[in-house]
Amino acid sequence: MIKQKTLKNVIRATGIGLHTGEKVYLILRPAPIDTGVVFIRSDLDPVVEIKASNAAVVDTKLATTIGNGDAKISTVEHVLAAFSGLGIDNVYVEVSGPEMPIMDGSAATFVFLVQSAGIESQSAPKKFIRIKKPIRVSGAGSAQDYGQSVALLPHPGFKVSHTIIYDNAVIREQHACIDFANTDFVKAVSRARTFGLMQEFEQLRELNLAQGGSLDNAIVVDDYRILNADGLRHDDEFVRHKILDAIGDLYLLGHSVLGEFIGFKSGHSENHALRTALIAQPESWDIITFDNHERTPSAYAHLGAVEYAS
């Protein structure tokens, strides 16, 4: 049986917010069975809990933002991707401000924190959302329709593909397809960093955004070159980060997905529309568990065997 998992220990970290540029204190804590991922604004009095769910999404511009009343937390997709990739079902995420720390712009730091805290199995089966019928959403009719589309298709494991097309000599067109039956999240996806054009960062700063953005937490390109001295971590790091974002956004469904995600020129807004469309069609999915290792899809087999020591 693949069991639900949480952390063995509490772990703390400090970073800065990408847009505010302010210091952010982060604490990850173990949580009971069937808690899910719960974010907590620890800087508010009283503190406010925000359950990671599609219903909690309040904004998808530049990042995925969730909220409860007036309390919001933005850029939750990177830590959610880490939880998804490592099979963490139940965890409390305490954050001391309105956005998650950006760390290095990827999910690698969050992976390190989870592995350092240790992963603990719990006495309940892990739940999966299985895609039974195709769900597709296109950008047609959108105020910003540039041919984007997203889809979820039936698949016995977990596969994510994405295509990006930029009018930029460095990024151009990239496509990647990652089948997690053949590789793992940590190796293939977790280190891919967020990216942007230099002129975009300059425009954001004029709007008092991206105040914490730097070459330490994003890949920045101009018209002809990558400005980061250390270059790329993957030849196709740009599209791999879009895959990372998609995995994090999908985890707002509340469970790991058995299916195939396909994105084309898409982002957080399309991912939200896809989740919403899926939830609205209950005949297209169901919730299942695996009670023995023989039935376990190879994409998730590692979740039944591997735990990290504290």
- State how beta strands 57-59 and 128-131 pair: unpaired
Please enumerate in sequence order all residues whose Cβ is within 8 A of that of 280, keeping only pairs 6 or more positions apart, or say none.
none
pLDDT computed for residue 207 by the predictor: 65
Rg, Å, the chain Cα set:
18
- CA end-to-end span of the chain: 23
**DSSP designation for 244:** H
Cα–Cα nearest to 232, from 248, 223, 221: 221
Which position among 155, 162, 255, 268 bears the catalytic label? 268
**Cα gap 137→135, rounded to integer Å:** 7
Q: What is the pLDDT along the chain (310 residues), one digit of tens a residue?
A: 899 999 999 999 999 988 788 999 999 999 999 999 999 999 999 999 999 999 999 999 989 999 999 999 999 999 999 999 999 999 999 999 999 999 999 999 999 999 999 999 999 999 999 999 999 999 754 556 678 999 999 999 999 999 999 999 999 999 999 999 999 999 999 999 999 888 777 776 676 666 777 888 999 999 889 999 999 999 999 999 999 999 999 999 999 999 999 999 999 999 999 999 999 999 999 999 987 656 788 889 877 654 433 3
Domains recognised in the chain with CATH numbers? 3-125 (3.30.230.20), 128-293 (3.30.1700.10)
Q: Tokens in use for 216?
A: 């330490």
- Residue 294 burial class via C-beta count within 10 angstroms: exposed 0-12, middle 13-18, buried 19 and up: exposed
Active site residue 268: yes
pTM: 0.94
Q: How far apart are CA 49 and CA 271, in angstroms?
A: 23
Phi, psi of 111 (to 5 degrees): -60, -45
Phi, psi values for residue 226, rounded to 5°: -85, 130
Confidence at residue 306, expressed as pLDDT on a 0 to 100 scale: 43
Q: Helix or strand or coil: residue 60?
A: coil
User: What number of CA atoms fall less than 13 Å from residue 145's CA on the CB side?
Assistant: 7
Please give the pLDDT value at position 126.
96
Phi then psi for residue 109, to 5 deg, are -65, -40
CB 106 within 8 A of CB 190: yes
Calpha distance 153→284 (Å, rounded): 10
